[in-house]
Amino acid sequence: MTIVSDRAFSVSRLPGFATIAVTVLVMLYLPIVLLVLFAFNAGPSPAIWEGFSLHWFPRAWANEQVKEATIRSLVIATSAAIISTSVAVLAALGTTRRRKSPGQTFVYLMINQPLMVPEIVTAVALLILFGFIKVATGYQGLGYLILAHSAFCIPFAYLPIRARLEGMDITLEIAAADLYATPWQAFRHVTLPMLMPAVAAGFMLAFITSLDDVIISLFVKSAGQDTLPTYMLGQIRRNMTVEVNAISTLLIGLTVILLTAFFLLTRERNRPQK
């Protein structure tokens, strides 16, 4: 790619900007590409290339800890995404397309709170609270992780749903009422089908967010409840092997797939409206 040439005068072209931009894009991908590349390394080092091989993937999966952490991560992410998306749909219905009120601002602040409070603070707060509950009830299960993940996933599920609702023509629901739909039927047959792409998008963002979480999981998990990220963080202490690259590659792949789906879903929404 040639970056700067003696092109015709263009007011929007600023000298050096293209060079910086291309460098930034390259630097953004270089570490990730190398990480993925070395996942296919035949040798044991994530820095010295010894030929192509796929053997790190089955090897990682053969590791009982990796397998358990993967399943646990998926269970948590699925549950948290379902819970956060469900409550986010309801909250979005309750807070959009109405006159502004102080109560609504409060709800909006509450929902976005996880985006503003540093994760480490929430993590230690949950460590204390769940510590009490664990002692009081004796329950040590995945419930704590699922609940904590559900909470910080809510804003990610909420935002696309809210955006879609606000962009939706309210006349359509009025039209449904005019055509003899009860309020529930209007929601079921008009609002919900049109909201579905955004619900799916919100679900995916919540899923990715849960799958990526390290800090809160680290503080909330009981003994032997490693998720994939906390397991990987533990490995940094030991001598790093290509196993981590293999797991990372799979996570990156999953993210790219979900994001592509997200983009296709949200792009679809611009079509029906004019």
Partner 1 sequence: MSSAIAIETRRALKEYGTGSHAVRALDGVCVRIDKGEFFTLLGPSGCGKTTLLRLIAGFETPTSGQILLHGKNITTVPPNLRPVNTVFQSYALFPHLTVADNIAFSLRMLGRSRSDVLQTVERMLSLVRLESFASRKPQQLSGGQQQRVALARALAPEPKVLLLDEPLSALDLKLRKEMQRELKRLQTETGITFIFVTHDQEEALTMSDRIAVMRSGKILQVGAPREIYNHPVDRFVADFIGETNFLSGRVEGDKIRLSSGELVAAETEGHSGSVTLAVRPEQVGICPAGTSDSLTAEIVDTVYFGTDTHCHLSLADETELVARLQSPPSGNIGLSRGEKVGIKFNPGAVQVLNE
Partner 2 sequence: MSSAAEIAAERKERRRSWLLSAPALFVLLFAASGPLLIILVYSFLPPGKYGNVEWGFSLDAWVGILYSRDIFDGTYKLADAHLTIFWRSLKLSLYTTLFTFLVGFPTAWFIATRSAQMRAVLLFLITIPFWTNLLVRTFAINQLIRNEGVVNTFLIWTGVIDTPIQIVYTDFAVFLGMTYVYLPLMVLPLYATIDRFDMRLLEAGCDLYASRWQVLRHVIVPVVKPGIIAGSILVFIPSLGAYVTPRILGGGRNMMIGNFIDLQFGAGRNWPLGAALSVTLLLAVAVALFVYVRYATRDDNRV
Binding site for partner 1 (CB under 8 A): 169, 171-172, 174-183, 185-186, 189-190, 193-194, 271-273
Query: Which letter does DSSP use for residue 272 in this model?
Result: T
As a whole number of angstroms, the distance between CA 92 and CA 99 comes to: 14
For the chain, counts of helices (H) and of strands (E): 12, 0
Task: Tell me: does residue 34 bind partner 2 (CB under 8 A).
Answer: yes
Task: Tell me: does residue 163 bind partner 2 (CB under 8 A).
Answer: no
| Cβ proximity to partner 2, 74 vs 114, nearer residue | 114
The site string for partner 2 over 43-62 (x = CB under 8 A, - otherwise) reads --xxxx--------------
Which of partner 2, partner 1, none has residue 142 at its interface (CB below 5 to 8 Å by kind)? none
Count other C-beta atoms under 10 Å from residue 52's C-beta. Answer: 9
Residue with tokens 């910080």: 152
Which of partner 2, partner 1, none has residue 171 at its interface (CB below 5 to 8 Å by kind)? partner 1
Q: For 118, what's the count of Cα atoms within 13 Å in the CB-facing half-sphere?
A: 3
Task: Tell me: does residue 136 bind partner 2 (CB under 8 A).
Answer: no
Both tokens of 15, joined, read 């000298």
Q: How far is the CB of 61 from partner 2 (least distance, A)?
A: 18
Task: Tell me: does residue 210 bind partner 2 (CB under 8 A).
Answer: no
Specify the stretch interacting with partner 2 by CB under 8 A; choose among 51-59, 86-94, 165-173, 187-195: 86-94
Task: Tell me: does residue 256 bind partner 2 (CB under 8 A).
Answer: yes
Which of partner 1, partner 2, none has residue 208 at its interface (CB below 5 to 8 Å by kind)? partner 2
As a whole number of angstroms, the distance between CA 181 and CA 183 comes to: 6
Query: For residue 44, which of 237, 235, 241 has the smallest C-alpha distance?
Result: 241
Specify the stretch interacting with partner 2 by CB under 8 A; choose among 53-61, 63-71, 163-171, 236-244: 236-244
Q: Can you spell out the DSSP letters for 96-139?
A: SSS---HHHHHHHHHHHHHHHS-HHHHHHHHHHHHHHHHHHH--
Query: For residue 146, which of 202, 91, 200, 211 has the smallest C-alpha distance?
Result: 211
236 phi/psi in degrees, rounded to 5: -60, -30
Q: How far is the CB of 264 from partner 1 (least distance, A)?
A: 16
Which of partner 2, partner 1, none has residue 8 at its interface (CB below 5 to 8 Å by kind)? none
Task: Tell me: does residue 68 bind partner 2 (CB under 8 A).
Answer: no
**Residues in region 166-205 near partner 2 by CB under 8 A:** none
Task: Tell me: does residue 11 bind partner 2 (CB under 8 A).
Answer: yes
